Structure 1
Amino acid sequence: MDTRYLTYILTIARKKNMTKAAEELFVSQSSLSQYLTKLEQEIGTPLFFRARGELVLTPAGQLYTEAARRVLQIKEQLYKDIASLDNRGHITIGCTSQFALLALTEIVPRFKSYYPDYRVEITEQSLPALTKMLLEENIDLGLMAANTIKPFDEELADVLRQEEVLFALPTDHPYTKENPDKPIPQAEFVRRFEDENFLLSRKGSTLRVLADQLFETYHFEPSAMCETNSIVATQIMVSNGSGVTFLGESCTQKGGPVACYSLEPKLYRLNLLVRRKNWILNEAEQLFCRLTREWFQPQQE
């Protein structure tokens, strides 16, 4: 069922700009303009008019886009119903952090006890890559760490919890003997650790955004030993004294070779469950989302 031309009009209506719509659709602007012209000639009336440099829907355009959305919903529900025959189906999930993988090791077996024939496909991606996949609807769900729910629609993004971000250093660091458990004031943090080697997450990650904001606030330029999004590698390097870093609370382990401290004021990131647009969930997929939310409820108590 080829409905891509309906998506063309909906994208133009959302972007209000032919060039931006063409970029998102990965088609040429001229091809998109030609299609719109042909469609308007077929219908016999314009679907858009130009106002202050934007393409705005005409009354006919509003009717057309409303109908287009209904057709796409019918198509998606049809495909979902077909896929769900005999409780068979497929969910694609992207995750960005260790906390998500840990959660899924418990959520997926519970879900499979209800729907044993459902296929769950999990992929680990960086935050920018996963965000792009969700916005382009190449994946159903994102279980992710983020600094904000933007650029997702509020109704599609569930905030599962606020996760504290901690400062990590080797347990044999001189500071741990002076201050075994008290939070570190941010101003003192800069003064005490300005000469340390920092192991930083890559640009665009939640931890890197928070770290860069902290450095900018205190006009602090850290000595960055390396940049990596591998939590495991970072923890190993911290434990052997190679440097210090920032870790999400879910990635820490009490009693291990890495000491973790809260900062004052505390740093937080969000744990999100994000659904792609135009995804009509059947009963099985609604259950998966509910099990995910329930997994995080005890974490907040």
Structure 2
Amino acid sequence: METRHLEYVLSIAKWKNMTKAAEELYVSQSSLSQYISKLEQELGTPLFVRAYNQLVLTEAGKMYVRAASEVVSIKKNLYQNIHALLGKSHISLGITSQLGLKMLTTVIPKIKAQYPQVIIEITEGNASTITKLIQEENIDCAVMAVMGTENFSPSDVTILGEETLLLAIPKNHDFAKKYTGDSVSWNAIFEDLKDANFLLSKKGSSIRTIIDYVFTAHDFQPNTMFQTNSILTTRAMVGMGIGVTFIGKSCVSDEDKIKYYRLNPHAVRQIAFVQRKNWVLHDPEQTLKNSIKNYFYQKTIQSLIRGDEEYSEGTDSYGFGVKK
């Protein structure tokens, strides 16, 4: 089923830019422009108009995009169904956090052992990137650290659990010598770390969203030295004494070099399984989804047995759509 030309229009509508669409489609800009002109002549009306240096859909363009999206979705589901009959499913899974990457090492080998011909394609990105991929149906599902699920249909979301965020600081830092317990207040951070080098995740990540929310609420301006979504890099830099950061509890390591603090009020993020609309779940897809849910269910049970704070009731927290 040939849908290439439909995807031309969808890509331009997404990027609102002919050059970026051509790059995504691996075609020349002139070829893409010529095709759109020919299509508009055939239809007798423009699909795009230029406004503020962007290509904006006309009413006819919006109608075309809606229909094209449906056709492309039908093709995707049809191919998925045929591949399922042959035992050759292709599942695209998005991941936003180190917690999700740890999950893969447990879940994926089991899926491959049960369905050896299934291909599982992993896409890593921050929450905003993965959200967009899900909304545009460019990936099938995702395990995401999120601040809320309002961007998705409730029927497409399963909350897997919550994760506490921690302050990570070099063990030889004056702050660690002053605060010897395992928890610290935000006010202590604002007072005693106002001159510290903060190593923050990039905007769009779940951790950065929480931290920006708290800092803005308290009118705190951090000395941001470095921004990256690489947990390994950030953690290594903290261990070397270069700066301080905030990190998910699942990413705790190098405790001989790094002091970790629970925050008061504590900060939490949700871990969710999100699937694209119209995703058809055959046996491999359903097995993957169930395996992911079971993995986090076991994590929750283990945390309850240990009495981890992120699963305790009645504590104040900074978070979005989570227990208060």
TM-score range for the pair, normalised by the shorter chain length: 0.7 to 0.9
Indicate the SS of the match to 1:203. Answer: coil
**Identical pairs, percent:** 35
* Structure 1 residue 254 displacement after superposition: 6.1
Q: Is the 8 A contact 2:199 2:224 kept in 1?
A: yes
* Corresponding residue number in structure 2 for 1:132: 132
Q: Deviations over 1:117-150 (max 9, x none)?
A: 1011112112221111110000011111111112
1:270 aligns with 2:299: no
User: Could you tell me whether the CA contact under 8 Å between 2:103 and 2:295 is conserved in 1?
Assistant: yes
TM-superposed deviation, 1:289: 0.2
Deviations 1:271-299 (A, max 9, x none): 11110111111111011000000011121
Instruction: Say if 1:33 and 1:194 are closer, same or farther in 2 by CA, change over 3 A.
Output: closer
Q: Deviations over 1:7-31 (max 9, x none)?
A: x9xxxxxxxxxxxx989xx983154
In structure 2, relative to structure 1, the CA distance for the partners of 1:152 and 1:257 (3 Å cut) is same
Provide the C-alpha distance between the structure 1 equivalents of 2:220 and 2:170, rounded to a whole number of angstroms.
Answer: 21
| AA in 2 matched with 1:222 | P
**Counterpart in the other structure of 1:84:** 84
Measured in 1, the distance between the counterparts of 2:222 and 2:123 equals 32
Q: TM-score, normalised by structure 1?
A: 0.76
Partner of 1:13: none
* In structure 2, C-alpha distance between the alignment counterparts of 1:198 and 1:78, rounded to whole Å: 49
Instruction: Provide the C-alpha distance between the structure 2 equivalents of 1:295 and 1:178, rounded to a whole number of angstroms.
Output: 38
**Match of 1:235?**
235
Q: Using the alignment, how far apart are the partners of 1:149 and 1:32 within structure 2?
A: 29
1:29 aligns with 2:75: no
SS in 2 for 1:255: coil
Cα distance, 1:85–1:173 mapped onto 2, change above 3 Å? same
Contact 1:92–1:121, Cα closer than 8 Å, also in 2: yes
CA distance in 2, matches of 1:35, 1:145: 34
In structure 1, the residue corresponding to 2:255 is in which secondary structure? Answer: coil
Aligned amino acid, residue 126 of structure 2:
S
Q: How many residues align?
A: 254
Match of 1:255 in 2: 255
Question: SS of the residue aligned with 2:133?
Answer: helix
Q: Does the 8 Å contact 2:170/2:241 carry over to 1?
A: yes
Conservation of the 8 A alpha-carbon contact between 1:73 and 1:280? no
Which secondary structure does the structure 2 equivalent of 1:116 belong to?
coil
Give the partner amino acid of 1:261.
Answer: Y
RMSD of Structure 2 on Structure 1 (CA): 2.9
Letter in 1 for 2:114: Y
User: Counterpart in 2 of 1:286?
Assistant: 286
Following the alignment from structure 1 to structure 2, what is the Cα–Cα distance between the partners of residues 285 and 202? 31
After superposition, the Cα gap between the structure-2 partners of 1:34 and 1:295, relative to the gap in structure 1 and judged at 3 Å, is closer
Query: What SS is found at the alignment partner of 1:262?
Result: strand
Q: Confirm or deny: 8 A CA contact 1:111 1:288 kept in the other structure.
A: yes
Secondary structure at the counterpart of residue 250 of structure 1: helix
Check whether the contact 1:187–1:218 (CA below 8 A) recurs between aligned residues.
Answer: no
* Alignment partner, residue 209 of structure 2: 209
Q: Shift in Å at residue 35 of structure 1?
A: 5.9
- Once residues 64 and 276 of structure 2 are traced to their aligned partners in structure 1, the CA distance between those partners, rounded to angstroms, is 26
**Structure 1 residue 33, shift from structure 2 partner:** 6.6
Q: How does 1:116-131 map to 2 (within 5 A)?
A: 116-131=116-131
Per-residue Cα deviation, 1:25-48 (whole angstroms, up to 9, x for no partner) = x98315437869xxxxxxxxxxxx
CA distance in 1, matches of 2:62, 2:76: 27
2:186 is equivalent to residue 186 of structure 1: yes
Whether contact under 8 Å (1:196, 1:223) holds in the other structure is yes
TM-score relative to the length of structure 2: 0.71
1:201 Cα shift?
1.1
Residues 2 and 112 (structure 1 numbering): CA distance in 2 closer, same or farther, change over 3 Å?
Answer: same
3-state DSSP of counterpart to 2:214: helix
Equivalent-residue separation in structure 2 for 1:147 and 1:91 (angstroms): 25
Q: Which runs of 5+ in 1 are unaligned?
A: 9-20, 37-64
* Residues 182, 260 of structure 2: 8 Å contact kept: no
Question: In 2 relative to 1, CA 33–225 (structure 1 residues): closer, same or farther, beyond 3 Å?
Answer: closer
**SS of corresponding position for 1:113:** helix
Shift, 1:235, TM fit: 0.7
Q: What one-letter code is carried by the residue in structure 2 that aligns with 1:29?
A: T
